[in-house]
């Protein structure tokens, strides 16, 4: 074999292997080519990874595993299947059963014994599973990248494979030309380099050498009559009893093996750890580093007898729907439970506690009739209000797992979230069903409200019909530690992540909020922040969503807020900072007589992003009797801390706390603990966590209401929970001498300049004290360790400009941060800073830094 990029020539080997495959005559010896790193291993040998490629690749696909395996003490053997790569062209048509036997012959000839880990991709995934199933004695683990073991008879095979199998295209596309090979290589994201593409093509330079590609495509079982269908079905059924650890690494952008096939494998191999590399495609071994996670996973799995997940604090359990049930049969039965507001400022619809209990029970029974069961994933595409509230609690009663990803993620983000969870049911308004049809979202369709194009949209059931039955749900309650919900993060620091909560953890979240904010049953809340619109009934509080688009918080007006407060005589208001800014901006629009409703509010809570003190102080006159709370938390743990305006003032006045170096978010809520892992000179949180005051580092939290895990993001979960029992938040901050937490930004936004490590929030706060500046972002531009510190500001009197700041403004900005030891390389201006989609409040510093880098390097001034 010629020298190839990424391949040590010493790895290449050939072996003559006696064949026992039925397709070969007795006494046949086939010559195999394979890559083997055995000579590179210097320490003790821990076992062997047997790597099997698919079509039309060859052992070159696994080249990254060989050096990494040698470092970890694992032998890696990557075979070229017969008819493929540099192995022998036998001239005989080999079926799936033959290929499984071929692999057994090779393993026998090379003398492999346990511990053995099979690794497979594409059709090699099926072959490796067939081998694993038949050779369990020495099997230690199974690793799979994009592959499929079963094809739903009711669904067509993927379009690219249908095309390749068509009579007019099959031979021409697979062997006569390089079309199939070229198309597969083109799936890589990012594009493969020229020399790597050339390496993949080397064994397939002639039509005769591409005959194996043609045979592999022809061996795809398209129905029960296909020669390989029986063997594929046998393997698919038999692997259900595999009892070894399994690791699935997936490229969800694969046009061939979609998340539907991943879901099928996960169902057959429930012990599997899964990681989806968002944006990666079919050639996931080329698109992402899979070597590091594979050997980290093997270390993890061989060192842990259980599932390896750290122990977390547990909590007493009362079902989330308990308050609905209790209040429906007590003195509060006929009192208001939930209400929807109309655009005219009046209540458009409402339910009492008794009506809510009845509706939830009837809907649970209706959902059960159409096949929703414990463990079913149900994607809810319905705006907050009575319909969503009823659906959530009906699903939870059934033990179904609700998938909540709001439209604030944007079309692409929402589509990634839905497809990545592979819901069994998709329940939505017509707009959501249209999007589902357009983007191919999975799940049985259930329409909410009018759906005049129901048949076109694939609607199978209507919510109204499910509620029409008179039976109540009488099934068993789900287990407290079973999955209850997958809630998606805002996507402000990358693709939105699915956060899995159990029933116990959701109930602990309810209890923590109740204890922190004194939200007793009988309270009445206005939920202008989507997460809290779901928890009102669980708290026993009457709740109403104001007339607004909750996916765009800045659409909340003062009039809509006051109307909602008046409708339920609200005691509590929940809203994001962006919503509250617009409330202030529209305060003059409050209808006569409605101001009294706001004056009766006793608690105003703002969450979702840091909120400046001056905004709270401006809000106070609107709700003069309210305690203004700004809890800190995240989708993975809500809340973590809480603080009131008076406490913020006290913290800012204290000379001990380091005022100005971050946002003070208060002390840990009941049941929560906080610790800090200090930053090293590279801006990485490497220190042993401690609660020493004044130490800046990554914020870690543990509490009964912290998430269970990330959905199908094993690598991300391992990083977030690598400190046993703690969730690493990705935020940076410090504790002061009084135990208050100060948040200084995101770990990903820490600046590493030649002067040292810098967190952004402190200097941003200093800059925003200038009367000439409305908003500021401080970012690092350039390589780690030598980053230039750049301030990007939005002037109060901003023209539509983007670029270098005027000299007077630049001088003021530089002067105000210099006492803190911050030396700015440049000051730039923008008319507005980019923010996250969901909250409209978190500055997207990554986008700001990229834009600033382009400006300073003269690559254009397109706004971020």
Q: What percent of the chain has pLDDT over 90?
A: 78
| Burial class, 207, CB count within 10 angstroms (exposed 0-12 / middle 13-18 / buried 19+) | middle
Please name the fold of domain 751-856: GMP Synthetase; Chain A, domain 3 (3.30.300)
Q: What is the mean pLDDT of the chain?
A: 92
Res 657: pLDDT: 42
Q: Find where tokens 């409402």 sit.
A: 350
Q: What residue ranges do the domains of the chain occupy?
A: 9-152+226-302, 323-335+351-478, 518-630, 751-856
Res 306: pLDDT: 54
Res 151: pLDDT: 83
DSSP state of 243: -
| 527, β-bridge pairs | 574
CA neighbours within 13 Å on the CB side: how many for 705? 24
Please name the fold of domain 518-630: Rossmann fold (3.40.50)
Query: pLDDT of 718-747, one tens digit each?
Result: 999 999 999 999 999 999 999 999 999 999
Closest by Cα among 58, 59, 99 to 49: 59
| pLDDT higher than 50, residue 853 | yes
Main-chain phi, psi angles of 637, to 5 degrees: -165, 105
Query: Is the CATH number 3.40.50.980 carried by domain 323-335+351-478?
Result: yes
Query: pLDDT of 806-847, one tens digit each?
Result: 999 999 999 999 998 999 999 999 988 987 655 455 788 999
Q: Check if the beta carbon of residue 361 is closer than 8 Å to that of residue 472.
A: yes
Res 672: pLDDT: 97
Res 656: pLDDT: 47
Strand positions, DSSP E, 703-851: 709-710, 727-735, 741-746, 751-753, 756-758, 773-781, 788-795, 803-804, 826-829
| pLDDT higher than 70, residue 314 | no
Q: Check if the beta carbon of residue 753 is closer than 8 Å to that of residue 789.
A: yes
Least confident window among 392-401, 514-523, 666-675 = 514-523
CA neighbours within 13 Å on the CB side: how many for 133? 23
Copy the structure tokens of residue 605.
């809570």
Res 304: pLDDT: 60
Tell me the mean pLDDT in the region 676-697: 95
Q: What confidence tier does 861 reach under pLDDT thresholds 50, 70, 90?
A: low
Res 412: pLDDT: 85
* Alpha carbons 238 and 152: distance in angstroms, whole number: 17
What is the pairing mode between strands 498-502 and 709-710?
A: antiparallel
Main-chain phi, psi angles of 843, to 5 degrees: -70, 130
In this chain, the answer to whether the domains covering 323-335+351-478 and 518-630 adopt an identical fold is: yes
Tell me the mean pLDDT in the region 611-640: 91
Closest by Cα among 725, 727, 272 to 489: 727
Res 310: pLDDT: 52
Please name the fold of domain 9-152+226-302: Rossmann fold (3.40.50)
| pLDDT higher than 70, residue 360 | yes
Least confident window among 276-290, 357-371, 589-603 = 589-603
Q: Check if the beta carbon of residue 528 is closer than 8 Å to that of residue 574.
A: yes
Query: pLDDT of 261-277, one tens digit each?
Result: 999 999 999 999 999 99
Closest by Cα among 609, 617, 631 to 841: 609
Res 528: pLDDT: 82
């Amino acid at each position: 074999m010629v020298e190839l990029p990424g391949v040590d020539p010493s790895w290449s080997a050939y072996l003559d292997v006696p064949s026992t495959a039925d397709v070969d005559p007795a006494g046949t010896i086939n010559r195999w080519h394979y890559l083997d790193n055995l000579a590179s291993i210097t320490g003790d040998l821990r076992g062997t990874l047997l790597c099997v490629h698919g079509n039309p690749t060859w052992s070159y696909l696994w080249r990254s595993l060989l050096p990494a395996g040698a470092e970890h003490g694992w032998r890696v053997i990557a075979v070229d299947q017969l008819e493929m790569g540099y192995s022998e062209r036998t001239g005989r048509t080999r079926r799936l059963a033959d290929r499984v036997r071929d692999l057994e012959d090779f393993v026998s000839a090379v003398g492999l014994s346990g511990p053995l880990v099979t690794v497979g991709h594409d059709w090699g995934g099926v072959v490796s599973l067939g081998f694993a199933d038949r050779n369990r004695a020495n099997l230690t683990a199974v690793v799979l990248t994009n592959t499929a073991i079963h094809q739903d008879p009711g669904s067509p095979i993927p379009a690219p494979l249908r095309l390749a199998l068509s009579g007019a295209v099959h031979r021409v596309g697979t062997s006569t030309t390089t079309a199939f090979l070229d198309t597969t290589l083109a799936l890589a994201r990012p594009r493969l380099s020229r020399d790597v593409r050339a390496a993949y093509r080397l064994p397939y330079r002639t039509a005769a050498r591409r005959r194996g590609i043609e045979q592999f495509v022809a061996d795809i079982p398209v129905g029960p009559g296909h020669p390989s269908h029986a063997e594929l079905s046998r393997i698919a059924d038999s692997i259900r009893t595999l009892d070894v650890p399994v690791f699935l690494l997936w490229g969800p952008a694969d046009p061939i093996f979609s998340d539907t096939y991943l879901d099928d494998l996960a169902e057959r191999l429930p012990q599997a750890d899964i990681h989806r590399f968002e944006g990666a495609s079919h050639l996931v071994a080329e698109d992402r580093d899979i070597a590091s996670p594979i050997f980290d996973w093997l270390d993890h799995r061989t060192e842990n007898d259980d599932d390896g997940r750290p122990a977390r604090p547990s909590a007493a359990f009362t079902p989330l729907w308990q308050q609905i049930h209790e209040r429906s049969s007590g003195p509060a039965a006929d009192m208001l439970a939930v209400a929807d507001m109309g655009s005219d400022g009046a209540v458009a619809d409402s339910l009492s506690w008794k009506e809510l209990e009845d509706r939830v029970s009837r809907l649970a029974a209706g959902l059960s009739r159409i096949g929703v069961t414990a463990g079913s994933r149900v994607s809810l595409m319905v705006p907050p209000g009575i319909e969503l509230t009823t659906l959530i609690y009906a699903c939870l009663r059934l033990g179904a797992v609700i998938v909540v990803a709001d439209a604030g993620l944007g079309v692409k983000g929402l589509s990634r979230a839905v497809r990545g969870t592979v819901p069994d049911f998709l329940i939505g308004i017509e707009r959501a069903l249209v999007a589902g049809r357009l983007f191919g979202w999975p799940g049985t369709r259930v329409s909410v409200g009018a759906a005049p194009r129901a048949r076109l949209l694939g609607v199978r059931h209507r919510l109204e019909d499910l509620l029409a039955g008179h039976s109540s749900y009488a099934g068993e309650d789900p287990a407290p530690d079973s999955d209850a919900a997958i809630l998606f993060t805002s996507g402000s620091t990358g693709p939105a992540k699915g956060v899995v909560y159990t029933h116990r953890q959701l109930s602990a979240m309810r209890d923590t909020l109740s204890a922190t904010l004194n939200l007793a049953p009988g309270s009445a809340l206005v939920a202008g922040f989507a997460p809290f619109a779901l928890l009102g009934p669980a708290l026993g509080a009457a709740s109403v969503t104001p007339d607004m688009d909750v996916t765009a918080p800045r659409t909340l007006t003062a009039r809509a807020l006051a109307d909602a407060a008046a409708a339920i005589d609200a005691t509590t208001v929940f809203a994001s900072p962006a919503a509250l800014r617009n409330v202030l901006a529209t305060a003059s629009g409050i209808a006569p007589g409605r101001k009294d409703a706001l004056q009766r509010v006793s608690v105003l809570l703002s969450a979702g992003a840091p909120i400046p003190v001056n905004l709270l102080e401006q809000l106070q006159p609107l709700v003069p009797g309210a305690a203004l709370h700004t809890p800190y938390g995240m989708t993975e743990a809500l809340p973590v801390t809480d603080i009131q305006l008076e406490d913020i003032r006290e913290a800012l006045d204290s000379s001990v706390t380091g005022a100005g170096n971050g946002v003070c978010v208060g002390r840990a809520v009941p049941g929560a603990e906080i610790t800090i892992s200090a930053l090293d000179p590279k801006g990485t949180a490497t220190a042993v966590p401690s609660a020493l005051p004044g130490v800046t580092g990554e914020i870690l939290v543990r509490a009964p209401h912290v998430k269970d895990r990330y959905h199908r993001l094993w690598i991300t979960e391992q990083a977030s929970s690598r400190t046993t029992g703690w969730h690493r938040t990705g935020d940076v901050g410090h504790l002061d001498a009084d135990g208050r937490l100060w948040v200084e930004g995101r770990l990903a936004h820490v600046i590493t300049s030649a002067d040292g490590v810098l967190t952004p929030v402190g200097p941003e706060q200093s800059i925003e004290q200038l009367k000439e500046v409305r908003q500021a972002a401080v970012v690092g531009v350039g390589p780690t360790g030598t980053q230039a510190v750049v301030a990007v500001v939005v002037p109060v009197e901003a023209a539509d400009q983007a670029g270098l700041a005027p000299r007077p403004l630049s001088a003021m900005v530089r002067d105000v941060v210099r006492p803190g030891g911050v030396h700015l390389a440049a000051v730039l201006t923008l008319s507005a800073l980019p923010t996250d989609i969901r909250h409209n409040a978190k500055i997207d510093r990554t986008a700001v830094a990229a834009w600033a880098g382009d400006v300073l390097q003269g690559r254009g001034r397109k706004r971020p």
